[in-house]
Amino acid sequence: MKVKRRSLAKTEADWGAIAAPSGYRLASAGLWDLGALQRLEKVCFPQDAWPLIELLGVLIWPNMARCKIVFGEEMVGFAAGQEIDGAGWIVTLAVHPAHRRRGLGRALLMACEQFLSHAVLRLAVRASNHAAQALYRHGGYQVVDRWPRYYVDGEDALVMEKIRG
Ligand SMILES: CC(C)(COP(=O)(O)OP(=O)(O)OC[C@H]1O[C@@H](n2cnc3c(N)ncnc32)[C@H](O)[C@@H]1OP(=O)(O)O)[C@@H](O)C(=O)NCCC(=O)NCCS
Protein backbone atom coordinates (compact mmCIF):
# COMPACT_ATOMS: atom_id res chain seq x y z
CA MET A 1 0.00 0.00 0.00
CA LYS A 2 1.35 3.42 -0.91
CA VAL A 3 1.42 5.67 2.11
CA LYS A 4 1.03 9.40 1.67
CA ARG A 5 1.21 11.32 4.90
CA ARG A 6 0.42 14.88 5.83
CA SER A 7 0.17 16.54 9.19
CA LEU A 8 -2.71 15.47 11.37
CA ALA A 9 -4.85 18.15 12.92
CA LYS A 10 -3.65 17.35 16.42
CA THR A 11 -0.10 16.63 17.47
CA GLU A 12 -0.98 15.43 20.94
CA ALA A 13 -4.02 13.44 21.84
CA ASP A 14 -6.18 14.46 24.75
CA TRP A 15 -6.98 10.97 25.95
CA GLY A 16 -8.61 12.48 29.03
CA ALA A 17 -11.81 13.00 27.04
CA ILE A 18 -12.25 9.24 26.62
CA ALA A 19 -13.27 7.26 29.68
CA ALA A 20 -11.28 4.08 30.24
CA PRO A 21 -13.13 1.35 32.15
CA SER A 22 -12.70 1.47 35.90
CA GLY A 23 -9.25 0.32 37.05
CA TYR A 24 -7.64 1.10 33.69
CA ARG A 25 -5.82 4.17 32.42
CA LEU A 26 -5.58 5.47 28.87
CA ALA A 27 -2.27 7.13 27.97
CA SER A 28 -0.06 8.06 25.05
CA ALA A 29 2.46 5.39 24.06
CA GLY A 30 6.07 6.04 23.14
CA LEU A 31 9.45 4.47 22.56
CA TRP A 32 9.69 3.39 26.20
CA ASP A 33 6.80 0.98 25.51
CA LEU A 34 8.67 -1.02 22.86
CA GLY A 35 9.27 -4.12 25.00
CA ALA A 36 5.71 -4.20 26.34
CA LEU A 37 4.29 -3.68 22.85
CA GLN A 38 6.36 -6.53 21.46
CA ARG A 39 5.05 -8.85 24.19
CA LEU A 40 1.46 -7.74 23.58
CA GLU A 41 1.80 -8.24 19.81
CA LYS A 42 3.07 -11.80 20.23
CA VAL A 43 0.12 -12.71 22.45
CA CYS A 44 -2.54 -10.93 20.39
CA PHE A 45 -1.32 -11.58 16.84
CA PRO A 46 0.22 -15.07 16.75
CA GLN A 47 0.03 -15.05 12.93
CA ASP A 48 0.55 -11.37 12.14
CA ALA A 49 2.86 -9.94 14.82
CA TRP A 50 4.80 -7.02 13.39
CA PRO A 51 8.61 -7.32 13.36
CA LEU A 52 10.55 -5.19 15.83
CA ILE A 53 11.42 -2.57 13.22
CA GLU A 54 7.73 -1.94 12.46
CA LEU A 55 6.87 -1.73 16.15
CA LEU A 56 9.67 0.78 16.55
CA GLY A 57 8.28 2.75 13.61
CA VAL A 58 4.75 2.82 14.99
CA LEU A 59 6.08 4.19 18.29
CA ILE A 60 8.24 6.97 16.85
CA TRP A 61 6.83 7.89 13.44
CA PRO A 62 5.55 11.50 13.46
CA ASN A 63 1.85 12.23 12.98
CA MET A 64 0.62 8.93 14.31
CA ALA A 65 -2.01 8.40 16.95
CA ARG A 66 -0.75 5.84 19.47
CA CYS A 67 -2.48 5.08 22.70
CA LYS A 68 -2.17 2.40 25.29
CA ILE A 69 -4.29 1.09 28.13
CA VAL A 70 -2.49 0.46 31.37
CA PHE A 71 -3.54 -1.80 34.25
CA GLY A 72 -1.31 -1.16 37.24
CA GLU A 73 2.08 -0.85 35.56
CA GLU A 74 1.26 -3.21 32.71
CA MET A 75 0.31 -2.22 29.17
CA VAL A 76 -2.71 -4.40 28.37
CA GLY A 77 -3.92 -2.68 25.20
CA PHE A 78 -2.56 -0.65 22.33
CA ALA A 79 -3.89 1.03 19.21
CA ALA A 80 -2.41 3.23 16.52
CA GLY A 81 -3.78 5.24 13.63
CA GLN A 82 -2.45 7.39 10.84
CA GLU A 83 -3.47 9.18 7.70
CA ILE A 84 -3.14 7.27 4.45
CA ASP A 85 -4.24 8.91 1.20
CA GLY A 86 -6.59 11.34 2.90
CA ALA A 87 -8.37 8.87 5.18
CA GLY A 88 -7.69 8.03 8.82
CA TRP A 89 -6.65 4.38 9.18
CA ILE A 90 -6.65 2.39 12.39
CA VAL A 91 -3.48 0.40 11.70
CA THR A 92 -3.41 -1.79 14.79
CA LEU A 93 -5.57 -2.45 17.83
CA ALA A 94 -5.09 -5.17 20.43
CA VAL A 95 -6.17 -6.04 23.95
CA HIS A 96 -4.46 -8.69 26.09
CA PRO A 97 -6.63 -11.84 26.27
CA ALA A 98 -6.88 -11.59 30.08
CA HIS A 99 -8.50 -8.16 29.81
CA ARG A 100 -10.98 -8.62 26.96
CA ARG A 101 -14.73 -7.95 26.96
CA ARG A 102 -14.36 -5.10 29.43
CA GLY A 103 -14.69 -2.25 26.95
CA LEU A 104 -10.96 -1.70 26.42
CA GLY A 105 -11.09 -2.31 22.67
CA ARG A 106 -13.92 0.18 22.36
CA ALA A 107 -12.01 2.77 24.42
CA LEU A 108 -8.88 2.34 22.28
CA LEU A 109 -10.89 2.68 19.08
CA MET A 110 -12.55 5.85 20.34
CA ALA A 111 -9.18 7.29 21.40
CA CYS A 112 -7.69 6.73 17.95
CA GLU A 113 -10.79 8.16 16.30
CA GLN A 114 -10.52 11.25 18.46
CA PHE A 115 -6.97 11.85 17.27
CA LEU A 116 -7.76 11.22 13.60
CA SER A 117 -9.82 14.19 12.46
CA HIS A 118 -10.71 12.69 9.06
CA ALA A 119 -14.25 12.34 7.79
CA VAL A 120 -13.45 8.86 6.51
CA LEU A 121 -12.01 6.22 8.85
CA ARG A 122 -10.89 2.81 7.63
CA LEU A 123 -9.23 -0.36 8.78
CA ALA A 124 -8.43 -3.84 7.49
CA VAL A 125 -9.34 -6.99 9.39
CA ARG A 126 -9.00 -10.73 8.77
CA ALA A 127 -12.15 -12.17 7.22
CA SER A 128 -12.24 -14.77 10.02
CA ASN A 129 -11.76 -12.26 12.86
CA HIS A 130 -15.36 -12.02 13.96
CA ALA A 131 -14.57 -10.54 17.38
CA ALA A 132 -12.79 -7.54 15.86
CA GLN A 133 -15.45 -7.15 13.19
CA ALA A 134 -18.11 -7.07 15.90
CA LEU A 135 -16.16 -4.38 17.76
CA TYR A 136 -15.88 -2.28 14.61
CA ARG A 137 -19.52 -2.77 13.60
CA HIS A 138 -20.43 -1.73 17.12
CA GLY A 139 -18.37 1.43 16.51
CA GLY A 140 -20.22 2.29 13.28
CA TYR A 141 -17.95 0.65 10.67
CA GLN A 142 -19.20 -1.40 7.75
CA VAL A 143 -17.47 -3.61 5.21
CA VAL A 144 -16.73 -1.72 1.98
CA ASP A 145 -14.08 -3.86 0.28
CA ARG A 146 -12.31 -7.21 0.33
CA TRP A 147 -8.58 -7.64 -0.36
CA PRO A 148 -8.03 -11.20 -1.57
CA ARG A 149 -5.10 -13.12 0.01
CA TYR A 150 -3.91 -10.02 1.87
CA TYR A 151 -2.39 -11.89 4.81
CA VAL A 152 0.73 -14.08 4.70
CA ASP A 153 -1.26 -17.29 5.06
CA GLY A 154 -3.51 -16.32 2.14
CA GLU A 155 -6.54 -15.17 4.12
CA ASP A 156 -8.57 -12.26 2.74
CA ALA A 157 -8.83 -8.90 4.50
CA LEU A 158 -12.09 -7.05 4.84
CA VAL A 159 -11.84 -3.26 4.64
CA MET A 160 -14.24 -1.57 7.01
CA GLU A 161 -15.15 2.09 6.85
CA LYS A 162 -16.91 4.69 8.92
CA ILE A 163 -18.02 8.04 7.53
CA ARG A 164 -18.30 10.85 10.03
CA GLY A 165 -20.77 13.63 9.45
C1 LIG B 1 -10.79 -7.46 18.94
C2 LIG B 1 -10.33 -7.02 20.33
C3 LIG B 1 -9.43 -5.81 20.20
C4 LIG B 1 -11.59 -6.66 21.15
O5 LIG B 1 -11.13 -6.11 22.40
P6 LIG B 1 -12.07 -6.09 23.69
O7 LIG B 1 -11.44 -5.22 24.70
O8 LIG B 1 -12.41 -7.47 24.11
O9 LIG B 1 -13.39 -5.41 23.10
P10 LIG B 1 -14.55 -4.68 23.95
O11 LIG B 1 -14.66 -5.31 25.30
O12 LIG B 1 -14.33 -3.22 23.90
O13 LIG B 1 -15.83 -5.08 23.08
C14 LIG B 1 -16.67 -4.10 22.49
C15 LIG B 1 -17.72 -4.80 21.67
O16 LIG B 1 -17.11 -5.51 20.58
C17 LIG B 1 -17.80 -6.76 20.36
N18 LIG B 1 -16.92 -7.89 20.68
C19 LIG B 1 -15.66 -7.82 21.21
N20 LIG B 1 -15.14 -9.06 21.33
C21 LIG B 1 -16.08 -9.92 20.87
C22 LIG B 1 -16.13 -11.34 20.73
N23 LIG B 1 -15.11 -12.13 21.10
N24 LIG B 1 -17.24 -11.88 20.20
C25 LIG B 1 -18.28 -11.12 19.81
N26 LIG B 1 -18.30 -9.76 19.94
C27 LIG B 1 -17.21 -9.17 20.44
C28 LIG B 1 -18.99 -6.75 21.30
O29 LIG B 1 -20.05 -6.11 20.62
C30 LIG B 1 -18.48 -5.88 22.43
O31 LIG B 1 -19.49 -5.27 23.19
P32 LIG B 1 -20.14 -6.10 24.42
O33 LIG B 1 -19.00 -6.67 25.22
O34 LIG B 1 -20.91 -5.04 25.15
O35 LIG B 1 -20.98 -7.19 23.81
C36 LIG B 1 -9.59 -8.19 21.05
O37 LIG B 1 -10.40 -9.36 20.96
C38 LIG B 1 -8.22 -8.49 20.49
O39 LIG B 1 -7.24 -7.86 20.87
N40 LIG B 1 -8.13 -9.47 19.57
C41 LIG B 1 -6.81 -9.87 19.00
C42 LIG B 1 -6.20 -8.78 18.17
C43 LIG B 1 -7.14 -8.34 17.06
O44 LIG B 1 -7.81 -9.15 16.43
N45 LIG B 1 -7.16 -7.02 16.79
C46 LIG B 1 -7.93 -6.45 15.72
C47 LIG B 1 -7.13 -6.50 14.46
S48 LIG B 1 -8.02 -5.79 13.10
Neighbours of 107 (CB within 10 A): 22
pLDDT digits (tens, 9 = 90+) for 22-53: 999 999 999 999 999 999 999 999 999 999 99
**pLDDT category, 141, cuts 50, 70, 90?**
very high
**pLDDT category, 4, cuts 50, 70, 90?**
very low
**pLDDT category, 5, cuts 50, 70, 90?**
very low
From the list 93, 90, 113, 83, the residue with the least C-alpha distance to 15 is 113
Query: What is the atom index within ligand 1 of the atom nearest the CA of 96?
Result: 39
Q: Does pLDDT of 7 surpass 70?
A: no
Q: Please, what is the average pLDDT of the chain?
A: 90
Quick check: CB of 137 below 6 Å from ligand 1?
A: no
What CATH number does residue 30 fall under?
3.40.630.30
Query: What is the atom index within ligand 1 of the atom nearest the CA of 129?
Result: 44
From the list 91, 141, 135, 81, the residue with the least C-alpha distance to 111 is 81
pLDDT of amino acid 165:
81
Domain interval for residue 50? 15-118
158 occurs within a structural domain: no
132 occurs within a structural domain: no
66 occurs within a structural domain: yes
HSE-CB of 38 using CA atoms within 13 angstroms: 11
Q: Where are the beta strands (DSSP E) in the chain?
A: 25-28, 64-71, 74-84, 87-95, 120-126, 142-147, 157-163
Q: Does pLDDT of 14 surpass 90?
A: no
6 occurs within a structural domain: no
pLDDT of amino acid 19:
79
pLDDT digits (tens, 9 = 90+) for 111-140: 999 999 899 999 999 999 999 999 999 999
pLDDT of amino acid 15:
62
Give the mean pLDDT of 78-90.
96
* Rg value, the chain, Cα: 15
Query: What is the atom index within ligand 1 of the atom nearest the CA of 77?
Result: 39
What's the predicted TM-score (pTM) here? 0.92
- DSSP state, 119? S
Produce one character per residue of 14-48: b if its CB has 16 or more CB atoms within 10 Å, e if not: ebeebebeeebebbebeeebbebbeebbeebeeee
| Distance from residue 21's CA to the centre of ligand 1 (Å) | 14
41 occurs within a structural domain: yes
Of 75, 92, 93, 100, which is best to mutate to test ligand 1, by the most ligand atoms within 8 angstroms of its C-beta? 100
Quick check: CB of 135 below 6 Å from ligand 1?
A: yes
Quick check: CB of 112 below 6 Å from ligand 1?
A: no
Domain count for the chain: 1
Q: Does pLDDT of 81 surpass 60?
A: yes
What strands lie across the sheet with 157-163, from one edge to the other? Answer: 25-28, 64-71, 74-84, 87-95, 120-126, 157-163, 142-147
Instruction: Confirm if 78 and 94 have CB atoms less than 8 A apart.
Output: yes
| Distance from residue 142's CA to the centre of ligand 1 (Å) | 15
